């Protein structure tokens, strides 16, 4: 299980819940498929999502790192289907009574139609993975959007009763550092700028420039920077181990781990699917345990407001 995106949360108080206790509490909100008239369902499932792996455990730990997974199932009921059925029903009532329902009466008819249509709707399912790092006191969520990550964090909070975490925040903003990098300042030896970025003016409605396969040291890019634009996204490589897209909100997207690391995982986990999962998990979290602190370091550490010792 190799994460493609990172949304990082910092525990504001030490997380010390045992694996057994965590397993027990997750099981109380384990995933249940949508009932016939239920529009969606959300719950915890086994992270080892492979038919060849006989495991129903909702936690999977290696050392002080624990993988968890949420599954969301929702019924697909397009608005066009609802509207077509509603208009057909309204037309029928109008032809019989001479009056077309409006207001609350119309809404009640719509609600009844939705309940009637839901059992016949297809369902789709999505999984969101995260791992708890008790060594570094992080939760790392594999989510491409902050909303999707917050959804998992909030459900974990409901599951445990409390969850003292906040999104990771650094002293120096990523936008400030990335802008300095493109201007040729403060670039560390272990980081390399790639060929993709997004530039934006400081105002909310300011112009946005997106570049791909572009020499970011070019005169054109420097002109935009000199005119006051900031870097809000930047493709970078760390230590020839990780390629990713760093954003100004500290979200990390489109992660690609090095071929060397993937080959090592394939060798370490060659025996069976469960062993491969362990190898992937161990190598991925080990690499991220070095990358994340290093990223925090070059951003001048974590914001004092979120660190409570």
Q: What is the 3-state secondary structure of 195-241?
A: EEEEEECCCCCCCEEEEECCCCCCHHHHHHHHCCCEEEEEEEEECCC
* Cβ–Cβ under 8 Å, residues 5 and 142: yes
pLDDT confidence band for 116 (50 / 70 / 90)? confident
pLDDT of residue 120: 83
Q: Which of 139-143, 179-183, 280-284, 303-307 has the lowest mean pLDDT?
A: 303-307
pTM for the whole thing?
0.85
pLDDT of residue 51: 64
List the chain domain ranges.
7-76+121-167, 79-119, 174-300
pLDDT confidence band for 298 (50 / 70 / 90)? very high
pLDDT, average across residues 262-287: 88
Question: Percentage of the chain with pLDDT > 90?
Answer: 64
Mean residue pLDDT of the chain comes to 91
pLDDT confidence band for 185 (50 / 70 / 90)? confident
pLDDT of residue 204: 74
pLDDT confidence band for 292 (50 / 70 / 90)? very high
Enumerate the H helices of 33-102 as residue ranges.
Answer: 79-97
pLDDT confidence band for 289 (50 / 70 / 90)? very high
- Which DSSP symbol is given to 144? S
- Tell whether the model's pLDDT for residue 30 goes beyond 90: yes
- Tell whether the model's pLDDT for residue 117 goes beyond 90: no
pLDDT of residue 309: 44
pLDDT confidence band for 54 (50 / 70 / 90)? low
Which range of 26-40, 161-175, 179-193 scores highest in mean pLDDT? It is: 161-175
Could you report the per-residue pLDDT of 90-113, keeping only the tens digit for each? 988 888 888 888 899 899 999 888
């Amino acid at each position: 299980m190799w994460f493609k995106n990172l949304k990082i949360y910092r525990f504001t108080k030490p997380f010390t819940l045992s694996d057994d206790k965590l397993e027990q509490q997750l099981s109380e909100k384990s995933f249940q498929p949508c009932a016939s008239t239920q529009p969606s369902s959300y719950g915890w499932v086994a992270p080892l999502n492979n038919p060849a792996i006989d495991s129903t455990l909702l936690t999977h730990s290696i050392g002080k790192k624990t993988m968890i997974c949420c599954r969301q199932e929702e019924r697909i009921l397009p608005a066009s289907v609802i509207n077509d059925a509603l208009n057909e029903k309204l037309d029928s009532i109008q032809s019989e009574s001479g009056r077309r329902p409006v207001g609350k009466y119309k809404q009640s008819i719509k609600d009844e139609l939705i309940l009637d249509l839901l059992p016949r709707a297809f369902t789709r399912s999505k999984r969101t993975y995260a791992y708890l790092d008790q060594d570094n006191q992080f939760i790392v969520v594999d989510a491409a959007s902050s909303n999707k990550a917050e959804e998992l964090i909030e459900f974990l909070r409901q599951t445990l009763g409390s969850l003292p975490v906040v999104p990771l925040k650094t002293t120096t903003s990523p936008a400030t550092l990335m802008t300095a990098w493109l201007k040729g300042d403060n670039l560390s030896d272990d980081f390399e700028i790639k060929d993709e970025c997004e530039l934006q003016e400081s105002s909310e409605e300011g112009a946005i420039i997106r570049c791909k396969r572009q020499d970011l040291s070019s005169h054109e890019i420097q002109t935009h920077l000199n005119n006051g634009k900031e870097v809000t996204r930047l493709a970078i490589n760390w230590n020839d181990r990780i390629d990713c897209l760093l954003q100004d909100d500290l979200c990390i997207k489109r992660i690609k781990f090095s071929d060397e690391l993937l080959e090592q995982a394939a060798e370490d986990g060659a025996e069976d699917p469960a062993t491969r999962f362990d190898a992937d998990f161990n190598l991925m979290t080990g690499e991220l345990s070095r990358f994340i602190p290093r990223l925090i370091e070059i951003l001048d550490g974590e914001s004092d407001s979120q660190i409570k010792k």
